[in-house]
Chains A and B, each alone.
Chain A
Amino acid sequence: MYFLLKNKRIYKGHQIMINHHSMDEVKLFGFWPSPFSRRVIWALKLKGVNYEYIEEDLPYNKSDLLLQYNPVHKKIPVLVHGGKPIAESLVILEYIDEVWPQNPLLPKDSYERSVARFWAKFIDEKGPIMWEFYLKFGEEQEKAINNSIEILRTIEEHGLEDKKFFGGDKMGITDLVFGLVIHILVPMEEIVGVKFIKEETFPRLHAWIKNFSEQPIIKDNVPDYSRVVDFFKRRRETYRLSAHPNH
């Protein structure tokens, strides 16, 4: 537990340390379809942290505040806690876990922590590759689909093992990161007309999706499905018209 001695009141000769840092105001700059801000929302909800959410109008209309809080990358999500900004979703998740230790995202054991970090990083990096297929056409799409299957195969075989969640009996950091499957991958599959995670081909991941989606924090905090499908449909169409006028 870390304490920031923000206010020390002297009362009747006794020093009372008040205002645990965790009581400071929390703001989150996000974008509703983004998996990077979605995982931060889930973490805050899981820990019961009150926060103000600021919706950014991406990609062309970033607010001055966002650019001020994340001058290096100019991206969401940015968590602002007590006026101090923190950027990069995995950095934010670790920060949240340290300031609000309830419902931990990382295990206590150092080795288990390194495993959790490994898979969170793997999925975070491979995520964009996994959904590349929805902006591809023809042969390129075939190749992208095979890449996605390969990534999922690695996660199925080495990442989840026989656990209910990546975090074990309860959700952890990797579950929040892999959660992109339910609000990004599935809508894109529907648009393109493929389905990756079937019970016969990916039994563990298939079971995970069911368990994960049923968690109240998740169920109550996913973007509207048809709105997401609409959003990605339009994006795919815009991309098709600009890059592949003959498709």
Chain B
Amino acid sequence: MADEVILLDLWSSPFAMRVRIALAEKGIEYESKEEDLSNKSSLLLKMNPVHKQIPVLIHKGRPVCESLIIVQYIDEVWRDKSPLLPSHPCDRANARFWADFVDKKIYSTGKLVWATTGEVQEAAKKELIGCFNVLEGELGDKPYFGGDKFGFTDVSLIPFYSWFYAMETCGNFNIIEDCPKLVAWAKRCMERESVSKSLPDQYKIYCFLMGLKKKLDAK
């Protein structure tokens, strides 16, 4: 099957969620192969020898790696349906800038919120709220970062909504108090089937992250 699309996947990974959302937005049929990162498949090691990480999209037998690069690839190949990047170069640059901001700030800061305690956690909470407020500034009164349409920046950020219960429980705070616009945006995104079907239940993620945290603490 020359046109076959395979996703080397992981249910809990926000990066894999980005790809699942993009594939769903475009209505692309694909085979999801769930990876066990403690026992990586020979296919994963062959398809992503540099990072040995998921997600990897395999299309026509060739691998595409790095979640945002995969999303752009999907957007370019299946360009006729639900474009994720806007058409004007200025707007495209803006979308890429903010997706890069999410990549640089949200994962590492969010992780500190659910994985640490004490002073480190407090600092991380402050930093996270700060980043969310910056994002709210960019969102403004638009329904999505992409404007009227759900787009690239929305795809890059929404998977981290699956971490909210874990972060709020571990950090003992309510994100909606400091970031009402962002939470409203997240709920709006969750009304899309592509998003609600791609994000796992927040409690399930919480249990998974607490398992990870135990392992990290043990090291």
Write the nearest CB–CB distance from B182 to chain A, whole angstroms.
Answer: 16
Partner of B88, one of A2, A88, A122, A154: A2
Stretch binding the partner chain, chosen from A92-100, A135-143, A183-191: A92-100
A158 proximal to B (CB < 8 A) = yes
Asked whether B73 is an interface residue with its Cβ less than 8 Å from the other chain, the reply is yes
Q: Does A4 contact B (CB under 8 A)?
A: yes
Please state if B93 and A158 are interface contacts (CB–CB under 8 Å): no
Q: Looking at the complex, which of A111-119, A169-177, A213-221 is the stretch in contact with chain B?
A: A111-119
How far, in whole Å, are A91 and B93 apart by their CA atoms in the complex? 6
The dominant DSSP class at the A interface is: helix
Q: Are B70 and A114 in contact (CB under 8 A)?
A: yes
B93 x A121 contact (CB < 8 A): no
CA distance A62 to B60 in the complex (A): 49
The answer to whether B69 and A99 have CB atoms under 8 Å apart is: no
The stretch among B27-35, B96-104, B142-150, B165-173 that forms the contact with chain A is B96-104
Question: Using Cβ atoms and an 8 Å threshold, which residues of chain B touch A154?
Answer: 50
- CB proximity to B under 8 Å, residues A132-171: 154, 158
Tell me, rounded to whole Å, the shortest Cβ–Cβ distance linking A178 to chain B.
15
B97 touches A88 (CB 8 A): yes
Cβ contact within 8 Å between A114 and B69: yes
In the assembly, what is the distance between CA of A208 and CA of B48, in Å? Answer: 24
Within the complex, the shortest CB–CB distance from A99 to chain B, in Å, comes to 5
State which of A92, A111, A158 has its C-beta within 8 Å of the C-beta of B62. Answer: A111
Q: Does B66 make an interface contact (CB < 8 A)? A: yes
Judge if A110 is at the interface, Cβ distance under 8 Å. Answer: yes
Whether A118 touches B69, Cβ cut-off 8 Å, given contacts A72-B101, A72-B134, A110-B76, is yes
Are B50 and A91 interface neighbours, CB within 8 A?
Answer: no
Number of interface residues of B (CB under 8 A): 26
The answer on a CB contact under 8 Å between B101 and A121 is no
CB pair B89–A158 under 8 Å, yes or no, is: no
Verify A86–B66 contact, CB threshold 8 A.
no
Contact digits for B55-84, partner A, Cβ 8 Å, 1 yes 0 no: 000011010111001101100110000000
| Any A CB within 8 A of the CB of B49 | yes
Complex Cα distance, B134 from A2, in Å, reads 29
Q: Does B26 contact A (CB under 8 A)?
A: no
Bound Cα distance from A91 to B65, whole angstroms? 18
User: In the assembled complex, which residues on chain B have CB atoms less than 8 Å from the CB atom of A110?
Assistant: 73, 76-77
Report if B216 contacts A (CB, 8 A): no
A84 located at the interface, meaning its Cβ lies under 8 Å from any Cβ of chain B in the complex: yes
Interfacial chain B residues near A122, Cβ < 8 Å = 50
B66 near A98: Cβ-Cβ < 8 Å: no
Q: Encode A33-74 as 1/0 by CB contact (under 8 A) with B.
A: 000000000000000000000000000000000000000100
A contact residues around B77 at 8 Å (CB)? 110
A130 at the interface (CB under 8 A from B): no
Type the 1/0 row for A79-92, where 1 means its CB is closer than 8 Å to any CB of B.
00100101110111
Find chain A residues with CB under 8 A from B65 CB: 118
Give CA–CA (A90, B72) in the complex, Å. 14
The one of A4, A81, A95, A117 that contacts B92, using a Cβ cutoff of 8 Å = A95
For the complex of A and B, the 10 pairs showing the least CB-CB separation, nearest first, are: A98-B89, A95-B93, A110-B76, A114-B73, A114-B64, A91-B96, A86-B93, A117-B69, A110-B77, A91-B97
Listed A/B pairs (17) with beta-carbon separation below 8 Å:
A2-B89, A84-B90, A86-B93, A87-B97, A90-B100, A91-B96, A94-B96, A95-B89, A98-B92, A110-B77, A113-B73, A113-B76, A114-B70, A114-B73, A117-B72, A118-B64, A154-B50
